[in-house]
Chain A
Amino acid sequence: MSATKFSLILIVIGAALLLIAHEINVDYLFFASYTILQFVVLATAWNILGGYCGYVNFGSAAFFALGAYSSVFMYKFFPVPIPVLMLIGAVVSGIVGFGMGYLTLRLRGSFFAIATLALAVVLQTLIVNWDYVGGSRGAYIIHDENIEIGSFSVHYIEYLFALMLALALVALFTARTIERSQLGFGFATIRDDELAAEASGVPTLRLKLIATTLSGAFMGMAGAPFPYYIGYLQPSSAFALDYAVNSIAMPMIGGTTSWIGPLVGAVLLGSAQQYATVTISSAVNLLIVGLMLVAFVIIAPNGLVGLVQERLRARRKT
């Protein structure tokens, strides 16, 4: 299927989802869906570096929080509309992703992973100590209950939902395009055997930097509307561990070799967690995510998508 056809399908699906949600018009639906869509973006972004290139990023929370705190900064300094904030978040997180990649991607994958852990803590410490954006006391973001878009007046949360939906579709489209391009092909060689890739002429450092920058940028974009979503932002919520775990668990459970995997993982795990947080405690909920991650990593290394692919391949052979 060509890229144009795929993007048209995405636009149609997106428009349909928007209309249906608008008709149902229940605020809780918007809140819950926003969270799931946010995870779709985070999981897809993580997978560009993790699944395609094989470089694990433990610091997804850092890039997400950078996007969130760029928004807080702009809110205090010079308020701009959220789509602009998303672009700013993309640039800030993209640059940090590039910088960190430049410093550490020349080393082994395991060193890079540890460096991403370090980055998250350093950034959190910096932000906790930066009073302009609220520091450890937190920052309030105040907005109107409704927002005017042209002649429409919608609930703010519906507006945020629409933005995150658009971002999720863009992320999925980007991931699929990369996967089918020469760039994605190059990424796969890095994952399979980086030394052999270099020997075959693949500029591995350059490709890894592209992946890190893109991945960071999308995570930053996902974080940018977050302060407006929750209204009161503390470092502990922006840097929450469940962002790091979910960004890894969702692609690994869904399947890391294709763009569908993170989508499946995010929708399934995200919905399950939304349900679980209401019925059981959030700690048990996270425990289940962790156990599933360990189980899937051991038993089904290619995730749900991998299991389906294997079933299809077996059927084709008989």
Chain B
Amino acid sequence: MDISADLVINAIAAGLLLGGFYAAVTAGVSISFGMLDIVNIAHPAFIILGSYIAYIASVTFGVDPIIMSVLAMPLFYLLGVAVYQVYYVSFERRGQESLRGLAFFFGLLFVTEVTLILVFGVDYRYVEAIYIGPSIHIGLLDLPLRMLVPCLVSLAMFGTLELFVTRTFLGRAIKAVSQDQLALQLMAADPIRIKRIAFGISIATASVAGALLIVIQPVEPSVGREYIGRVFAICVLGGLGSMPGTLIAAFLLGVVESITATFYGPSWAPAVAFGFLLLTLAFRPSGILGR
């Protein structure tokens, strides 16, 4: 195997860009699983939904996918609120969230995927934008814009979320509800309302993540499944509820996946994320920066 510095540097750079994107994908689960303790394994399905909405907007109206996704965020927020309401009434209130809640989200994941197959078919869909195609060259580095732009947007969204959680009252209430519901109630804030808002926000992030995804790669309905493991691997590795930890884990996973794909072939890449996840769960379930 001829390992040139050029190849390694670009693999790492691609991995970092990929990792930045993964942060956007994981941001939502960081909230729903990390802070609200809801195992929403259907999150990737919402992301794919976001991809298809961006695709329709791009193909039908020529709107830039990323801009479309930001405009669609309120819609996704409402969707998230609705899903949480069903989840809360059916499961959380009855204390049966473990078995039935998981089955519920699994069913949602499945229904969403199959519905997309029925409506759009299994062909790959892709979008076109001015930043898909050209690359920036810096020395040995070859940075495709179609990866750089999503990475930057993702980091921006991630940073906004982190500021929201640490600086605003609502954000801190969300952080608090994950640790002590009783204390929150004593502060006269309604924990259920807080959780509903938080879950809505987590689904809203899926809108943006979906658009970023379809910029990076062509999308078809079953692509979501690859992301289930990635998303939870990053969340767990980063430490539940720790946004900085999630970011570090996202970059780490991106780099390892990129190097694996470059030197061992892309067919091994899915195993990387899931292997990471299994190892983390087995040996350090609290993650890098976990509580």
Contacts and interface: CB of A to CB of B under 8 A. Distances in A.
A and B touch in their complex, CB below 8 angstroms = yes
Contacts of B267: 125, 128-129, 136
A171 interface: no
Contacts of B192: none
Nearest to B111: A290
B229 A245 contact: no
A119 interface: yes
B281 interface: yes
Interface string B222-236: 000110110011001
Given A104-B281, A109-B98, A293-B110, A287 B115 contact: yes
Given A54-B98, A107-B285, A118-B229, A245 B110 contact: yes
Contacts of A17: none
Contacts of A56: 98-99, 102-103
Given A125-B270, A293-B103, A298-B86, A113 B110 contact: no
A195 interface: no
Interface residues of B, number: 40
A272 interface: no
A98 interface: no
Contacts, number: 126
Interface centre among A252, A283, A297, by most B CB within 10 Å?
A297
B39 interface: yes
B61 to A, nearest CB: 28
Interface band, chain A: 35 or more
Given A122-B271, A283-B118, A287-B114, A111 B107 contact: no
B145 to A, nearest CB: 30
B41 A126 contact: no
B103 A252 contact: yes
Contacts of A104: 278, 281-282
A50 B98 CA distance: 10
Nearest to A251: B103
A113 B102 contact: yes
Interface in A280-297: 283-284, 286-287, 289-291, 293-294, 297
Nearest to B274: A118
B176 interface: no
A218 B260 CA distance: 35
Contacts of B107: 249, 290-291, 293-294, 297
A153 interface: no
A290 B108 CA distance: 7
Interface of B: 37, 39, 41, 86, 90, 94, 96, 98-100, 102-104, 106-108, 110-111, 114-115, 117-118, 225-226, 228-229, 232-233, 236, 267-268, 270-271, 274-275, 277-278, 281-282, 285
The 10 closest A-B pairs by CB, nearest first: A125-B271, A294-B107, A118-B274, A103-B282, A290-B110, A293-B107, A290-B111, A287-B114, A110-B39, A118-B277
6 contacts: A56-B102, A114-B39, A245-B110, A248-B103, A283-B117, A293-B106
